[in-house]
Amino acid sequence: RFQACVYFACVFQAMSCGIHYLASVFMAVTPNFLCGIPGNVSSVLFYNSSESSIEDIWTLWTSTENYIVVQLENGEIWELNQCSRSKREVSLDLSYEYKGNKSIFSCSDGFLYDDTKWKSTVVTQWDLVCDREWLAKLIQPTFMLGVLIGAVVFGDIADRLGRQRVIWFTSACQFVFGIAVAFTFGYYSFVIVRFLLAMVSSGYLVVAFVYVTEFVGIKARTWASMHVHAFFAVGIMIVALVGFLVRTWWVYQIFLSIATLPFVLCCWMLPETPFWLLSEERYEDTEKVINIMARWNRVSTPCKVSELCSVQQDDLVGGRSGDNDTSSTKKHNILDLFCNWHIARRTITVWLIWFTGSLGYYVFSLSSVNLGGNEYLNLFLIGAVELPCYIIACIGMDKLGRRNTLIPFLILSALICVLIMFIPQDFNILVILANMAGKFSIGVAFGLIYLYTAELYPTIVRSLAVGSGSMMCRVGSVVAPFCVYLRSVWIFMPLLLVGIMALLSGILTMMLPETLGKPLTNT
């Protein structure tokens, strides 16, 4: 009962991480737009269609290369493109085709936006189009950079100061920064606050994985850890739902951030994990936490400090006999993940799996834009398709083991990458199904690696190991868009790279130990 309450409180907050990671999908969307005009419009012409206002033309707008002809109340006739406008020197009659002289002007009067789908986005708020378009494209990469830094920073802090304090701090900051984003006064303040939001969201997710792993027993650890991902996917589905209902970006951001509030109000009640307290030799505090757990779970056997001391001493003696460098009092850093060749090889393999999982996930996701249709439904389904993926992963991990599930799914994703290359491009449905199968298989590996990493390392560097792995995962998500740009070199180049990485990861995983049913190591 105690572990269940702690677990569901933590994974509820994981939904808000999924929300903030994907919020920019609708917040930073670029609607149809045109150059602004220096006056009131009397009539509008688009090919053979004549309307009284530009708002009526948006439904006919099909290509960004088209232009619209408008006549002002003072008789001037202008041609409006997306990033420029031209004034016709001879304005006798309103016609679409014109062979005479034109004077070209920049968009000094701002831009006109199609607000039929979105009333307001950050792009329309700060005119992030044309020569400022690169600023809009920086919104998600800067967020991912914050995620990368936050994973390492808070993973390390959690090993030094404890999991509980980091969970308190990051969850409170998620709510504060989430609301603050909606009230930013300019583009640069918006990006900075989103960067800080990314850091604390990433920090929470990394530490929450370690936190629930250390509280949940061996029997339920697989399902508990994997379904943190499921709640993250529910967060993605919430983004789709809120995006469908709210079309003004700052109201949309406030609604998404409010999801964090219930956890912020009760997170101060969460205890520190006994594993971390024991590794810090705080035996009395460990005894208190375990006795609270015993009362909640109606277990009559009390915990004795002397028993904890003897367990810890046995661990330390065993640890020192195997490795003379191990010390319970030493402050640990990322170099401890490379303390000897055995651990270094394990770290390199784990990092490669994190990188490949993220790279494959985003390359397959970007390839799925061919689905078309309703973008809100598409995002909802992208979130929903992850749920069965984690159930399959859980069953495989419990029945076959962590390593024996990871290897076939990594190799399967590599084979699917090769298969897609041989499917004729005319077979759209088959191509899409193969891409979704690839995303499903890489998703199993991607979800599994969190728990596997936590089980492969001892308590003293566990958060650091998961945090550094998450950093490699973010590197993969930053590299993924550049990988997709390689389609211009060869259409299958992104799939070839993902296939090679997945195959290499699958082969190296064979050298990792199995952790199914094994107790977590302390030293």
Per-residue pLDDT of the chain (523 residues; tens, 9 = 90+): 888 888 888 888 888 888 888 888 788 888 888 888 877 777 777 776 666 667 777 777 766 667 788 878 777 788 888 888 888 777 667 777 777 778 888 888 888 888 888 888 898 888 888 888 888 878 877 888 888 888 778 877 887 888 888 888 988 899 999 999 999 888 999 999 999 999 999 888 888 888 888 888 777 777 787 778 888 888 888 888 988 898 888 898 999 988 878 887 777 778 887 777 877 777 777 778 788 887 787 877 766 666 656 655 555 544 444 444 444 445 677 777 777 777 888 889 999 999 999 888 777 776 654 455 577 877 787 778 888 888 888 888 878 888 888 999 999 999 999 998 888 877 777 777 787 788 888 888 887 887 788 888 887 777 788 778 877 887 887 787 777 667 768 888 888 999 999 999 999 988 888 878 777 777 7
- How many structural domains compose the chain? 4
Residue 324 lies in a domain: no
Question: Which residue, of 262, 294, 309, is where some domain finishes?
Answer: 309
Same domain, 40 and 23: no
Residue 482 lies in a domain: yes
| DSSP string covering 256-283 | HHHTTHHHHHHGGGPPPPHHHHHHTT-H
Same domain, 139 and 261: yes
CB 31 within 8 A of CB 385: no
Residue 320 lies in a domain: no
- At 135, which helix (H) or strand (E)? helix 133-137
Same domain, 376 and 391: yes
- At 51, which helix (H) or strand (E)? strand 49-51
Residue 346 lies in a domain: yes
Residue 252 lies in a domain: yes
Same domain, 138 and 210: yes
Residue 315 lies in a domain: no
pLDDT tens-place string over residues 6-28: 888 888 888 888 888 888 878 88
Residue 321 lies in a domain: no
Residue 101 lies in a domain: yes
Three-class secondary structure assignment of 65-115: CCCEEEEECCCCEEEECCCCEEEECCCCCCCCCCCCCEEEECCCCCEEECC
Same domain, 9 and 144: yes
What the block records as the tokens of 391 is 């159930």
The pLDDT value recorded for residue 506 is: 92
| Residue 278, domain extent | 274-309
What the block records as the tokens of 178 is 């989430």
Nearest to 273 by CA among 190, 339, 347, 215: 215
Backbone φ and ψ of 290, nearest 5°: -65, -35
Same domain, 227 and 340: no
Dist CA 276 CA 320 (whole Å): 19
pLDDT tens-place string over residues 332-361: 777 777 777 778 888 899 999 999 998 887
What the block records as the tokens of 457 is 């390392």
Backbone φ and ψ of 162, nearest 5°: 110, 155
Same domain, 110 and 249: no
Question: Which residue, of 220, 240, 270, is where some domain finishes?
Answer: 270
Same domain, 298 and 256: no
CB neighbour burial string for 54-64, b if at least 16 within 10 angstroms, e if fewer: beebbeeeeee
Same domain, 372 and 344: yes
Same domain, 45 and 111: yes
Q: Residue 170: give its domain's CATH number.
A: 1.20.1250.20
Same domain, 488 and 347: yes
Q: What is the pTM of this model?
A: 0.79
The pLDDT value recorded for residue 193 is: 94
Same domain, 367 and 515: yes
Dist CA 386 CA 376 (whole Å): 16
501 contact partners, CB below 8 Å, separation of at least 6: 352, 355, 356, 359, 360
